[in-house]
Structure 1
Amino acid sequence: MFSPEKDLSRKIVETLGKDGMSISSLDKELAKMGIKDHRLVLTGYLRAMTDLGYLKMRDVPPAKIYVPAKRLPDSVYESVSKRCRTLSGVDTDEVILYSLYKLFKRPIFESELRNSGVMRPVGTRADEEAVSDTKKLLRKEGNIVPSDNAYIPSKDYPEEFGEILADIVLDCTDAKHLVLTTKQTKLF
């Protein structure tokens, strides 16, 4: 789901490009895109992104130039898609739908599936009551509510979901080095 407040960091990194920009230049570019906040809000947001290590600040008096320092983390849609695409022997689009459905505990909209790289119809269309409840939840949480169809999985993939979830958690916590990757076959 696109939510302007939650997606601002990605817009900022895209707008800064590899050369970076001053606060006033960035503010003007964001205003052209329809993102208008007070310059102090933008300054605070840039400072927070710098503190998190996503941006670097260069002092070029009288301005401060912000430059992307590292890639932003993947969205949940990108993470699930990336992990599902590594599986073999299953319909990855169906596994993506199943994984998102299990994570969010609600029907998944077409726009969410597209964000995950699914470009064809999968699963079963959700009933109107479930879609209505989902829209109420999204609206309540401040998300933009999609008007497209929502789907639920038609098959279960509990083993694949477990692998995907474990892989995402290990990746987010930078703990992959703790996983045993081989099994000992002989005792010494």
Structure 2
Amino acid sequence: MPENLYSSIYEILEGKQLSISAITRELKEVGVNEHRLIMTGYLRALRDMKKLDEIDIPPSKVYRKIDTEGDNSQPDIYSLIAREIKHFDHNIGLALAVYVMTTILDRPVFKEELLKIGFTTKSINDQLSGPEHMIKESNNENLREYISGITKISIPPGDPAYEVSMDGSVLLEDANCLLVKILRLSLDMSGLTPRTKRTTIADFG
């Protein structure tokens, strides 16, 4: 997938709203030829990241730009991980999310944060009690201080926090892959890669 896809879509949607088919057609006219399945997933991801509005006009869904003038907000780390973690083996998904979050934030990750990503209390408990024990509850003495320092979301007092309980090198390859995907979603890389670069659905996912 060309890294200028995001900016190309924004240019196409300037002052109008278009269906997936219309967006795909106009992208082809500027030399960007992507499969409709890829475009559908990409547009929905932009919707989830609040970069585009999705409007249901049966039998189609149309998309339009969200006016972000003066808005300096950054993509939400929880939604970015939620967007990408589903493409990894579900057996390691929770541990992978915990590993990446603790690496990025330099602290244990709280249950409330994992719920925000999309994991359930049951999936967390199953992982804690499972034979592989890929994560563990943190006994970090600074948990109370961490909770008071988190202002982006509300963490309940006494909320449990987690760390990986296995050798992190086992998760390293998948973690690097996840971080690259998050980085690509977070940055405008238009003009930095060849427009002729092709991608597969596997690259997108």
TM-score in terms of structure 2 length: 0.47
60, 66, 69: which one aligns with 1:52: 69
CA contact (8 A) 1:109 1:146 kept: no
1:114 Cα deviation (Å)?
A: 0.5
165, 178, 187: which one aligns with 2:193: 178
Comparing 170-179 with 107-116, which one deviates more in the overlay?
170-179
Could you say which residue in structure 1 is the equivalent of 2:22? none
The 5-angstrom pairing of residues 67-106 of structure 1 reads: 75-88=76-89, 90-106=91-107
Distance 2:172 2:84 in 1: 14
| Structure 2 residue 205 is matched with structure 1 residue 164 | no
Aligned to 1:178, the other structure's residue is in SS state coil
Could you say which residue in structure 1 is the equivalent of 2:139? 127
Q: 1:51 to 1:150 in 2, by over 3 A?
A: closer
| Count of matched residue pairs | 121
Two-structure CA RMSD over aligned residues (Å) = 3.8
Structure 1: which 5+ residue stretches go unaligned?
A: 1-12, 19-48, 55-71, 183-188
One-letter identity of the residue aligned with 1:178: T
CA contact (8 A) 1:80 1:96 kept: yes
CA contact (8 A) 1:98 1:153 kept: yes
Distance 1:153 1:124 in 2: 6
Q: 1:90 to 1:173 in 2, by over 3 A?
A: same
Q: 1:169 to 1:132 in 2, by over 3 A?
A: same
Q: 1:144 to 1:170 in 2, by over 3 A?
A: same
Distance 2:112 2:155 in 1: 10
Q: 1:181 to 1:103 in 2, by over 3 A?
A: farther
Aligned to 1:152, the other structure's residue is in SS state strand
1:174 Cα deviation (Å)?
A: 3.5
Structure 2: which 5+ residue stretches go unaligned?
A: 1-49, 56-65, 128-134, 200-205
Could you say which residue in structure 2 is the equivalent of 1:66? none
1:144 Cα deviation (Å)?
A: 3.3
Note the alpha carbon deviations across 1:32-81, whole angstroms, 9 max, x for none: xxxxxxxxxxxxxxxxx845388xxxxxxxxxxxxxxxxx9752111112
CA contact (8 A) 1:107 1:152 kept: yes
CA contact (8 A) 1:77 1:115 kept: yes
1:125 Cα deviation (Å)?
A: 0.7
1:88 Cα deviation (Å)?
A: 3.3
1:175 Cα deviation (Å)?
A: 2.9
145, 153, 165: which one aligns with 1:154: 165
Could you say which residue in structure 1 is the equivalent of 2:27? none
Could you say which residue in structure 1 is the equivalent of 2:130? none
Distance 1:153 1:145 in 2: 20
CA contact (8 A) 1:106 1:130 kept: no
Report 1 or 2 for greater relative contact order, CA contacts < 8 Å, sequence distance ≥ 6. 2
1:173 Cα deviation (Å)?
A: 1.6
CA contact (8 A) 2:75 2:186 kept: no
Q: 1:128 to 1:78 in 2, by over 3 A?
A: same
TM-score in terms of structure 1 length: 0.51
Q: Which structure is larger by alpha-carbon Rg, 1 or 2? A: 1
